């Protein structure tokens, strides 16, 4: 039995010697490479926190002492050390989540993948512990240097500093990266701290103490925790954190288990808020990840573990089309600039940055700032294009509403991974955007169905300078081209089928292909239909209202929330116009979704063409019955 197989709970770590821990760390890395290569997942972040996580679980008594990870994609090692070692179905339905999950373990606190939240969680837990008489329990927040660029993290630090009698340890996992190299003043400050270590003497003393104690059991930890004398001399405010009044330890080699234990034990003994600055290397111990400069190993699909190369090369995808088209637009218009929130490559802005380096602004994990900064740029004569994952726009909705739309700023939002993404679970599905953005006055939203419409609608979006525009598309490979057979006003007609009654089938974005399938299936049953793609789905166009009035039933198909989505907007617009054409909305239910593939979710929510056609045929039959003339008895 390997050392890893003997770990069932964090307490098992405290019985291991230094030599055994080093073997364990290697076993964990081998396990991660082999397992994640088979399933896909976040590889680089987890390879970088092996020793750090071991040290955290040796010093702190989880789950009584809560450990909060920010973001959760660095929690695979935590899962392994808390008894979850079956990774065969990682990120697949029925298997382990790719993030912490309370349904899996009492050791998990926050089911998060949105960055910069852990410090607020930890602050809240520490306050509750104090009020409940549990002030002797420490709370630990593990946060990356990239997540510290988020404004919410600094709001939390401001409040944490006010709680000098609350035991809260902040482990800054500093690898100089988030998805990409960390930028800004914070990154520069942390870089300066890395190059001026001042903690070496006390660290060496602590390591020698642990080594003399043999395998560091509970007695050794108790001794360290009790050493209050002189603590303030070695845990002192440094630079950036001095003004906040938060004590600082570091920098510490995050790959040295003994060094991390000493630093964490000192921080715990202090009894107030302390930052432990750990220097780590993303992708540590796996040569393809260590030598990669494009951060391809932050998250991977199924790969060959020996080489790191994908088993099946990715097909040309939506993001690649955007990447090409925005460069073409940039060549024609010098006023177009691009903004990203620490995700330059994942959202497809790397080629634009290469050609126009002075016209790209990476603001870090700070979506709120990105949106309002863009409003300022628009006011000053530029046309900003903000590229984000759709789920991350949720964090900047107030700014979209009050800073961009209220001031009629010409800002274009490009939302990647909109709709159902599946594998990463509830927080990553981009299913909220259309329902949320429907509430923004003057905003116009386009949902392209294929490559040609993505290119065309992006060009149309950046041509609008007096209101916010949105172009949203899903994750993954492009579908086949779906040309229109006609254009009726602003609406693309994709298919017409004869028969009575007439059904208007509306496909939103990639669901246009499903809408075509619905029309074909209805035609096989003798039900007439017109299948359309509105192209610009918000606000509801007069052309779409006109089409709806010409039909007996309207069916909408979207990969966002059915509640308050595009179909709901159309139904409300028809009602406001005094038109009583019934509308049946098909979309994502209003609930948080378990991790599963997009295909599985589409099937579960009855969003396949065959499912919608079956429900539509039933609705048509009911409609026919209610509109048939009533038979009256013959008079004699």
DSSP summary character for residue 633: P
**144 neighbors 71 (Cβ within 8 angstroms):** yes
Contacts of 592 (CB under 8 A, 6+ apart): 426
Buried-exposed string 42-61: b where 16+ CB fall within 10 A, e elsewhere: bbbbbbbbbbbbbbbbbbbb
Q: Is 389 annotated as a binding residue?
A: no
Q: Is 73 annotated as a binding residue?
A: yes
Q: Is 521 annotated as a binding residue?
A: no
Which of 367, 451, 517, 558 is an active site residue?
Answer: 367
**40 neighbors 301 (Cβ within 8 angstroms):** yes
Q: Which two tokens stand for residue 310?
A: 């994908």
**276 neighbors 267 (Cβ within 8 angstroms):** yes
Which of 282, 359, 449, 598 is an active site residue?
Answer: 282
Closest CA to 453 of 434, 472, 438: 472
Q: How far apart are CA 518 and CA 541, in angstroms?
A: 23
Residue 79 annotated to the active site: no
Closest CA to 427 of 67, 179, 98, 133: 98
Angle between helices 257-270 and 18-39 (to 10 degrees): 100
Q: Is 551 annotated as a binding residue?
A: no
Q: Is 114 annotated as a binding residue?
A: yes
Q: Is 289 annotated as a binding residue?
A: no
Q: How far apart are CA 318 and CA 448, in angstroms?
A: 10
Closest CA to 455 of 297, 327, 341: 327
Which of 266, 268, 359, 395 is an active site residue?
Answer: 395
Residue 282 annotated to the active site: yes
What share of residues in the chain are helix, strand, coil (percent, to 5)?
45, 15, 40
Q: Is 146 annotated as a binding residue?
A: yes
Contacts of 292 (CB under 8 A, 6+ apart): 283, 308
Q: Is 115 annotated as a binding residue?
A: yes
Residue 228 annotated to the active site: no
Q: Which residues are annotated as a binding site for thiamine diphosphate?
A: 73, 113-115, 146-147, 175, 286, 367
Q: Which residues are annotated as a binding site for Mg(2+)?
A: 145, 175
Q: Looking at the annotation, which residues are catalytic?
A: 282, 367, 395
Q: Which residues are annotated as a binding site?
A: 73, 113-115, 145-147, 175, 286, 367
């Amino acid at each position: 039995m390997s050392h890893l197989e003997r770990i069932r709970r964090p307490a098992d770590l405290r019985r291991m010697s230094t030599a055994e821990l080093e073997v364990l760390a290697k076993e964990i890395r081998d396990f991660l490479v082999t397992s994640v290569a088979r399933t896909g997942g976040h590889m680089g972040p987890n390879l970088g926190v092996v020793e750090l996580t071991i040290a955290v679980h040796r010093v702190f008594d989880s789950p009584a002492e809560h450990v909060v990870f920010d973001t959760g994609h660095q929690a695979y090692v935590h899962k392994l050390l808390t008894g979850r070692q079956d990774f065969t179905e990682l990120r697949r339905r029925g298997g382990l989540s790719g993030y912490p999950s309370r349904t899996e373990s009492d050791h998990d606190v926050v089911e998060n993948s949105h960055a910069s939240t852990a410090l607020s969680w930890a602050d809240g837990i520490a306050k509750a512990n104090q009020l409940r008489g549990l002030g002797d329990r420490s709370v630990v927040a593990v946060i990356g240097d990239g997540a510290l660029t988020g404004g919410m993290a600094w709001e939390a630090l401001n409040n944490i500093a006010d709680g000098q009698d609350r035991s809260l340890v902040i482990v800054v996992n500093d690898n100089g990266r988030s998805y990409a190299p960390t930028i800004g003043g914070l990154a520069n400050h942390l870089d300066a701290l890395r190059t001026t270590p001042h903690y070496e003497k006390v660290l060496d003393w602590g390591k020698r103490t642990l080594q003399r104690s043999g395998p560091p059991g509970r007695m050794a930890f108790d001794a360290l925790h009790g050493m209050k004398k002189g603590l303030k001399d070695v845990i002192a405010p440094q630079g950036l954190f001095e003004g906040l009044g938060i004590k600082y330890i570091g920098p510490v080699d995050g790959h040295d288990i003994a060094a991390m234990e000493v630093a964490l034990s000192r921080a715990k003994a202090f009894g107030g808020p302390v930052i432990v600055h750990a220097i780590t290397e993303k992708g540590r111990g796996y040569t393809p990840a260590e030598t990669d400069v494009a951060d391809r190993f932050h998250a991977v699909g199924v790969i060959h573990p020996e080489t790191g190369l994908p088993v099946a090369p990715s097909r040309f995808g939506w993001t690649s089309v955007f990447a090409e088209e925005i460069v073409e637009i940039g060549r024609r218009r010098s006023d177009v600039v691009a903004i990203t929130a620490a995700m330059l490559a994942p959202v497809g802005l790397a080629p634009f940055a290469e050609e126009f380096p002075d016209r790209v602004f990476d603001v870090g994990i700070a979506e709120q700032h990105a949106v309002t900064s863009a409003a300022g740029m628009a006011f000053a004569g530029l046309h900003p294009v903000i590229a984000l994952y759709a789920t991350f726009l949720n964090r900047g909705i107030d700014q979209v509403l009050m800073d961009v739309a209220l001031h009629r700023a010409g800002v274009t939002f490009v939302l990647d991974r909109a709709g159902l993404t599946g594998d990463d679970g509830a927080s990553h599905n981009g299913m909220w955007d259309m329902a949320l953005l429907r509430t923004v006055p003057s905003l116009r939203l386009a949902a392209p169905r294929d490559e040609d419409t993505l290119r065309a609608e992006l060009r149309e979006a950046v041509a609008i300078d007096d209101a916010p525009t949105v172009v949203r598309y899903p994750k993954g490979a492009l579908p086949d081209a779906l040309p229109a057979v006609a254009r009726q006003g602003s609406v693309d007609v994709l298919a017409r089928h004869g028969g009575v009654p007439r059904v208007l089938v509306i496909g939103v974005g990639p669901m246009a292909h499903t809408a075509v399938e619905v029309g074909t299936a209805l035609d096989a049953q003798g039900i007439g239909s017109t299948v359309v793609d509105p192209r610009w789905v918000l606000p509801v166009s007069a052309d779409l209202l006109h089409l709806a009035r010409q039909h007996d039933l309207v069916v909408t198909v979207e990969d966002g929330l059915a509640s308050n989505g595009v179909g709901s907007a159309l139904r409300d617009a028809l009602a406001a116009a005094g038109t009583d054409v019934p509308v049946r909305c098909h979309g994502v239910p209003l609930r948080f979704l378990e991790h599963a593939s997009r295909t599985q979710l589409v099937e579960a929510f009855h969003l396949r063409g065959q499912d919608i056609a079956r429900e539509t045929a039933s609705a048509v039959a009911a409609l026919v019955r209610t509109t048939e003339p009533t038979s009256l008895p013959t008079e004699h």
